[in-house]
Amino acid sequence: MPLQESQEDVALERFTQEKSSLHTQVSQAPLPLHRKVCYAIGGGPYQLTGNALGFFFQIFLLDVVQLEPFHASLILFLGRAWDAVTDPTVGFLVSRSPQRKFGKLIPWIVVSMPFGVFFYCMLWFTPADSISVLLKFFWYLTMYCFFQTCMSVSSTAPLANFPGSHSLLQ
């Protein structure tokens, strides 16, 4: 028994040393500044739309569309819950997609962007005042969920092939 435990200790020690040497190799070659700036620029539209929705969308739903507070909150809650489902789903689909001429990720981003812009514009569109509250609720819930899906595709796709990619920007 003691011999087996010492072999496990040796194996664990070797694994720890290999892992630390890999970490040292990665940390010796940090990303250049221009690459970090490109990552930051690419994340700008996602952050801008997220901030605009976070600050103004509920106020828009309450004051302009004149939905009840319960309906406005339900739209935001269900939209974020939908986003929690679509993020891992999109990551899985992108990681399983075949390599294309322009890479794995570009087709996903190129296809999702026009739809994302369309659904973002539709979020701020006010349907006719004559339609019922229930139809307004489903209009904004549908547009918000479709927009969240498009944003999941465009923001998750670049990260899908890189496990631990959040550490690339350090």
Tokens of 124: 């701020």
Average pLDDT over residues 54-68: 93
Question: Is residue 9 in some structural domain?
Answer: no
Question: Is residue 79 in some structural domain?
Answer: yes
Question: Is residue 20 in some structural domain?
Answer: no
Range of the domain at 86: 33-160
Q: In the chain, how many domains are there?
A: 1
Asked whether the beta carbons of 78 and 145 are under 8 A apart, the reply is: yes
Q: pLDDT tens for residues 116-160?
A: 999 999 999 988 878 899 999 999 999 999 999 998 888 876 665
Tokens of 56: 């103004």
Cα–Cα distance between 51 and 157 in angstroms, integer?
21
